Amino acid sequence: MFTIIGGDGKEYGPATAEQLRQWITAGRANLDTKAKALGTDEWRRLGDFAEFSGGDVPPPIAASAPAPAAGPKDIDGCARDLIARAGQLDVFGCLDRSFTLWKQNFLPIVGATLLVMACQMLLSLVPILGAFAGVFLTGVFNGGLYYFYIGKLRGQPREIGDSFAGFSKAFVPLMLAGLLTTAIIIALAMVCIGPAMMGFITAAEQARRTGVPPEFHGFSGGLGLVGLFIVIIAGLYLSISWSFTFALVIDKGLGPWTAMEVSRRVITRQWFRVFAVAILGGILAMLGLLGLVIGFLFTLPLAIGAIMAAYESLCNPPPAHVPASTPAATPATPAEPTTPPDQPGA
């Protein structure tokens, strides 16, 4: 008898070896699924057990295709489909899944995160190239790292090199998504505080030429404060609302603008819950500072993992046709021998 960790991060079992073979055939598990034998505490790959190491393990059925190939790709259809199928986001459940992922995959998760961060930092130190990388490659780096985290959350096989999958799987869409999100935030700032800033600059320049101290009217100062307030509120809203953009591009195959809008619409329905996940995940990551700065590098994956767990809940919900009695729609008690959800990478 065995207990496994399904693609949703929950435990299923105990189940017999024959049941597990059926789940593998149905695409609900694979040989890389984490499992432990009844009466033991050691989690291993399912393929590492003698019962599944031979050639009698059936291949998964062809119907278990990766998620990017399914579902509508237009903004309205995709957003409506995800919103209709997603339940209420469990904030602490996201944190728990992130912590579980962090414990079970500590070295790969921390190693991939540090490697991507190191590459970005090294590129930023190169004159001209660093500025180019910061503008054009941020989305590509983040998309690859999210691809790595999503695969680990689903129990799919991932190597350290997969954290750079953004360069091979969706380079142009990820680059454009990064450019669009940055350009919109900058344009918003220019529209809201640009006129007030120009007024300040003009007054200061006139004072320099005439030698008379500049006079700033209360209206100009108030306009600048209002503009700054709008930029802060709108910038915070958009930053949280676009949290899933890069993941949607590389995981679902959506275009840049489609991914931005789907992410915004899906998150807006539960904005404060996603915001809470981001804030609490950030607090967990900041605890690493207690172990000097280097500790932050080991806890940062907790924040990323929490956001990707929220992504899995809201953007990879169970299909609409799944019966309500299955754990994909109504999670069962882990000890019950229920059927785990589909493994997208099986």
Question: Which of these, 256, 275, 243, lies nearest to 146 by C-alpha position?
Answer: 243
Query: Are 9 and 151 in contact, with CB atoms under 8 Å apart?
Result: no
pLDDT at 262: 96
Tokens of 259: 């991914």
**CA pseudo-torsion sign 314, 318, 323, 328:** negative
pLDDT at 317: 81
CB count, 10 Å around CB of 258? 21
The rounded distance, in Å, linking the Cα atoms of 13 and 1 is 8
CB count, 10 Å around CB of 37? 14
How buried is residue 218: exposed, middle or buried, by Cβ count under 10 Å (0-12/13-18/19+)? exposed
322-331 pLDDT, tens digit per residue, is 443 334 433 3
Stretch 270-285: mean pLDDT, rounded? 93
Tokens of 91: 């904030």
The rounded distance, in Å, linking the Cα atoms of 276 and 342 is 28
The rounded distance, in Å, linking the Cα atoms of 198 and 189 is 13
33-83 pLDDT, tens digit per residue, is 888 887 787 778 877 888 777 655 555 544 433 444 445 568 898 999 899
For residue 279, is pLDDT > 70?
yes
The rounded distance, in Å, linking the Cα atoms of 20 and 28 is 9
Query: Are 166 and 243 in contact, with CB atoms under 8 Å apart?
Result: no
pLDDT at 56: 57
The rounded distance, in Å, linking the Cα atoms of 112 and 301 is 9
pLDDT at 67: 42
Q: What are phi and psi of 341, to 5 degrees?
A: -70, 170
74-107 pLDDT, tens digit per residue, is 889 899 989 998 889 999 999 999 999 999 999 9
pTM: predicted TM-score of the whole model, two decimal places: 0.69
b (16+ CB within 10 A) / e for 162-185: bbbbbeebbbebbbbbbebbeeeb
Residue in the block written with tokens 């040989």: 31
DSSP letter at 165? Answer: T
Higher pLDDT, 321 or 343: 343
DSSP structure string for 90-108: -HHHHHHHHHHHHHHTHHH
8-45 pLDDT, tens digit per residue, is 666 777 778 877 777 777 667 777 788 888 778 777 88
The domain locations on the chain are 87-315
Question: Which of these, 279, 257, 270, lies nearest to 181 by C-alpha position?
Answer: 257
Determine if the peptide bond prior to 195 is cis (ω within 30°).
no
pLDDT at 97: 93
156-191 pLDDT, tens digit per residue, is 889 999 999 999 999 999 999 999 999 998 888 787
For residue 216, is pLDDT > 60?
no
The residues, ordered by sequence, that sit 6+ positions from 334 with a Cβ below 8 Å of its Cβ are 3, 10, 11, 12, 13
